[in-house]
């Protein structure tokens, strides 16, 4: 067996292993009964360990041969008379590095979660979603076609929303998940348009055909400047949503409503960097589209400034870390826009490891800080920075107030984006229920208990005082135990 064949099988194994764990545990839980915590954790961790070892070997071979560019044809997803969707994985220096990062951090977070979520009612559900997320993220970073990439991207988005609403019996996580869902859906329009445009311009879904067959980061795309610019801007919209960039990044602090392990995995280490990876994969496209590269740099600069100012005004550790993540990802966007692709990749890897550690340590760090203050009979207040000391006090107070209000950006998005979208979802849900009731011949029951899929009050009221649509237990957008795999055996006290 040749080396390319070995690498191809190892890359496929890295993606498939967590998917098999998810399918096996999910089928067992649904058809029989929920297995014990020990069985669930061991199966998922075994799959993640196998994935990490496979990714390590693939990464080692890519480092030895940095110019390697291997497209692995796994088979056909499905085909029509005129077109076929291929399952293709792409192995190069970029994808192998990201596969190693994803599998290792997922393994670390999974091991941490065994003790953190012990006797939690949703223990099995969390590990099922963890394995599904690992499958989606590994498919995303190793995708050789835009179709496989899109499938992985959507899996990551779905698991992200479900883990934000992990404590679905409380209102705040459900509201936060609805907000994340709205942002993802709107920004993913850019990805969907980009996929269609890529098919139209290049007549292929393969990254190799569009970006050229050279080793990453390449020298340019196989498209004209106009087509490359349009395609890059479409994908940029999707990257802004997933990586919480200005002006659509206000969902990131809300997403911290999920358990600490999911916050570390999604919004500190892996998922929040998916947009950065997308732009890194499109490096040849950006080289052929200088205008799009400039827009990427501007978006990153605005995000870095905004997140830094807002983060300095936060009083809780998770919100401060969320805005710190936004600012660092914004700097990565600047690096990509300026053409420093290798630097952005190193920055991504280092930042993911650091932020994962910080978020996992956040509860303990607060306890340590309290102990230190008690031991020293209090601690001095933090000193103002150089800029705050040099600027006029009135200006400093004004900026601080705006930072506390997050520059009113979140309120504007609530009123003019989130609220209309959720109201539209509420109306569509009522229409769907009437249609189903008519077809079933049982009449309209949309007003009975169980309610529409979106009810009022889940998102905070806008400035006009009007509540925004709320996911309820009976509808299509329900973020409750009916919409995620629930653990029917283990029960415990809900962790705040």
Residue the block writes with tokens 């983060």? 311
Residue 423, classified by CB atoms within 10 Å of its CB into exposed (0-12), middle (13-18) or buried (19+), is middle
Indicate the SS3 state at residue 89: strand
Q: Do both 336 and 414 map to the same domain?
A: no
Statement to judge: residues 355 and 434 lie in one domain: no
Structure-block tokens of residue 399: 């900026």
Q: Are 325 and 443 members of one domain? A: no
Residue 376 falls within a domain, yes or no? Answer: no
* Alpha-carbon gap, residue 369 to 363, rounded angstroms: 10
- φ and ψ at 491, to 5 degrees? -140, 145
Among candidate residues 328, 345, 362, the one where a domain is terminated: 362
Same domain, 351 and 448: no
Domain boundary among 294, 328, 362: 362
3-state secondary structure of 390: helix
In a domain, residue 345? The reply is yes
CA pair distance 230, 292, nearest whole angstrom: 8
Residue 488 belongs to some domain of the structure: no
pLDDT at 386: 66
Which residue has 């020298």 as its token pair?
Answer: 219
pLDDT value, residue 385 = 66
Measured distance CA(266)–CA(318) in Å, rounded: 13
Q: Is residue 368 part of a domain?
A: no
pLDDT of residue 56: 95
Whether 321 contacts 267, CB under 8 Å: no
pLDDT at 32: 81
pLDDT value of residue 458: 46
Phi-psi region of 260 (alpha: psi -120 to 50; beta: other; left: phi over 0): alpha
Closest by alpha carbon to 6, among 78, 68, 97? 68
Q: Is the same domain home to 112 and 260?
A: yes
Residues 145 and 253 in one domain: yes
Q: Tell me the H-state helices in 145-267.
A: 146-164, 171-202, 207-211, 225-242, 251-254, 260-264
Report pLDDT for 352: 95
Query: Does residue 367 belong to any structural domain of this protein?
Result: no
Answer whether 474's CB lies under 8 Å from 452's CB.
yes
**448 and 319 share one domain:** no
Are 255 and 163 found together in one domain? yes
Give the residue from 472, 295, 269 showing the smallest Cα distance to 357.
269
Query: Terminus-to-terminus CA distance in the chain, angstroms?
Result: 52
Same-domain status, 412 and 351:
no
Q: Are strands 70-79 and 84-91 parallel, antiparallel or unpaired?
A: antiparallel
Both 322 and 421 in a single domain?
no
The pLDDT of residue 378 is 57
How many angstroms separate the Cα of 171 from the Cα of each of 77, 178, 254, 341, 364? 39, 11, 12, 41, 26
Do 329 and 444 sit in the same domain of this protein?
no
Give per-residue burial for 139-169: e unless 16+ CB within 10 Å, then b. Answer: bbbbbbbbbbbbbbbebbbbbbbbbbbbbbe
- pLDDT (0 to 100) of residue 232: 93
Q: Give the chain's domain count.
A: 2
**Domain shared by 291 and 193, yes or no:** yes
Sign of CA dihedral 69, 72, 78, 83: positive
494 lies in some domain: no
> Which residues are 84's β-sheet partners?
79
* DSSP string covering 250-308: THHHHGGGS-HHHHHIIIIISGGGHHHHHHHHTHHHHHT-HHHHHHHHHHHHHHHHHHH
Give residue 445's domain range: 408-471
User: SS3 of 347, please?
Assistant: helix
Estimate the crossing angle of helix 146-164 against helix 123-142, to 10 degrees: 160
Burial letters 231-267, b for 16+ CB under 10 A, else e: bbbbbbbbbbbbbbbbbbbbbbbbbbbbbbbbbbbbb
116-119 CB contacts, 8 Å cutoff, 24+ apart? 116/259, 116/260, 116/261, 116/495, 117/259, 117/261, 117/495, 118/37, 118/492, 119/37, 119/490, 119/491, 119/492, 119/493
CA separation, residue 238 to residues 8, 11, 248 (Å): 29, 26, 11
**Which residue bears the tokens 């009221």?**
461
- Among 331, 346, 362, the domain-final residue is 362
Does residue 484 fall inside a structural domain? no
Q: pLDDT digit of tens for each residue in the chain (496 aa)?
A: 677 788 888 999 999 999 999 999 999 988 888 789 999 999 999 999 999 999 999 999 888 876 667 777 877 777 777 777 778 888 888 999 999 999 999 999 999 999 999 988 889 999 999 999 999 999 999 998 998 999 999 999 999 999 999 998 888 888 889 889 999 999 999 999 999 999 888 888 888 888 777 778 877 777 888 889 999 999 999 999 999 999 998 889 888 888 889 889 888 889 999 999 999 999 999 999 999 999 999 999 999 999 999 988 887 888 889 999 999 999 999 999 999 999 999 999 999 999 999 999 887 877 777 777 777 665 555 566 666 677 777 877 788 778 877 777 888 888 888 888 888 888 999 999 999 999 988 754 444 444 444 434 444 444 333 444 444 433 433 433 333 334 443 434 334 3
H or E element: which one contains 86? strand 84-91
Is residue 333 situated within a structural domain?
yes
């Amino acid at each position: 067996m040749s080396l390319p064949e070995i690498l191809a099988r190892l890359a496929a194994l890295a993606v498939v292993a967590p998917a098999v764990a998810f399918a096996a545990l999910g089928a067992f839980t649904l058809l029989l009964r929920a297995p014990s915590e020990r069985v669930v954790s061991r199966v998922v961790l075994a799959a993640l360990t196998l994935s990490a070892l496979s990714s390590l070997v693939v990464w080692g071979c890519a480092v030895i041969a940095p110019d390697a560019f291997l497209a692995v044809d796994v088979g056909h997803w499905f085909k029509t008379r005129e077109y076929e969707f291929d399952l293709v994985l792409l192995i190069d220096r970029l994808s192998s590095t990201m596969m190693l990062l994803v599998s290792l951090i997922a393994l670390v977070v999974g091991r941490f979660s065994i003790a953190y979520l012990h006797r939690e009612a949703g223990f099995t559900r969390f590990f099922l979603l963890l394995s599904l997320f690992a499958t989606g993220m590994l498919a995303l970073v190793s995708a050789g076609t835009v179709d496989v990439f899109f499938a992985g991207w959507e899996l990551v988005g779905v698991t992200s929303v479900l883990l934000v609403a992990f404590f679905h019996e409380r209102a705040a996580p459900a509201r936060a998940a609805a907000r994340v869902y709205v942002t993802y859906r709107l920004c993913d329009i850019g990805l969907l348009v980009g996929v269609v445009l890529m098919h139209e311009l290049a007549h292929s879904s393969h990254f190799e055909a569009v970006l050229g067959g050279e080793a990453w980061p390449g020298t340019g795309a196989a498209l004209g400047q106009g087509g490359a610019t349009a395609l890059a801007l479409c994908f940029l919209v999707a990257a802004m949503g997933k990586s919480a960039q200005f002006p659509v990044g206000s969902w990131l602090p809300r997403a911290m409503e999920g358990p600490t392990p999911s916050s570390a995995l999604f919004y500190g280490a892996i998922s929040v960097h998916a947009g950065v990876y997308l732009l890194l994969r499109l490096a040849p496209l950006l080289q052929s589209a200088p205008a799009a590269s400039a827009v990427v740099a501007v978006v990153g600069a605005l995000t870095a400034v905004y997140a830094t100012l807002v983060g300095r005004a936060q009083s809780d550790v998770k919100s401060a870390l969320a805005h710190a993540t936004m600012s660092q990802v914004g700097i990565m966007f600047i690096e990509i826009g300026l053409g420093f692709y290798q630097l952005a990749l190193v920055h991504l890897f280092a930042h993911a490891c650091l932020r994962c550690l910080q978020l996992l340590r956040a509860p303990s760090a607060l306890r340590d800080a309290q102990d230190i203050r008690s031991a020293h009979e209090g601690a001095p207040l933090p000193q103002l920075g150089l800029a705050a000391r040099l600027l006029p006090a009135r200006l400093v107070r004004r900026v601080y107030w705006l930072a506390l209000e997050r520059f009113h950006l979140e309120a504007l998005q609530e009123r003019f984006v989130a609220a209309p979208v959720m109201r539209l979802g509420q109306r569509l849900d009522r229409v769907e229920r009437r249609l189903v009731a008519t077809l079933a011949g049982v009449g309209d029951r949309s007003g009975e208990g169980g309610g529409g899929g979106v009810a009022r009050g889940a998102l905070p009221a806008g400035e006009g005082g009007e509540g925004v649509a709320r996911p309820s237990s009976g509808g299509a957008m329900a973020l409750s135990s009916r919409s995620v795999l629930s653990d029917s055996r283990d029960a415990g006290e809900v962790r705040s």
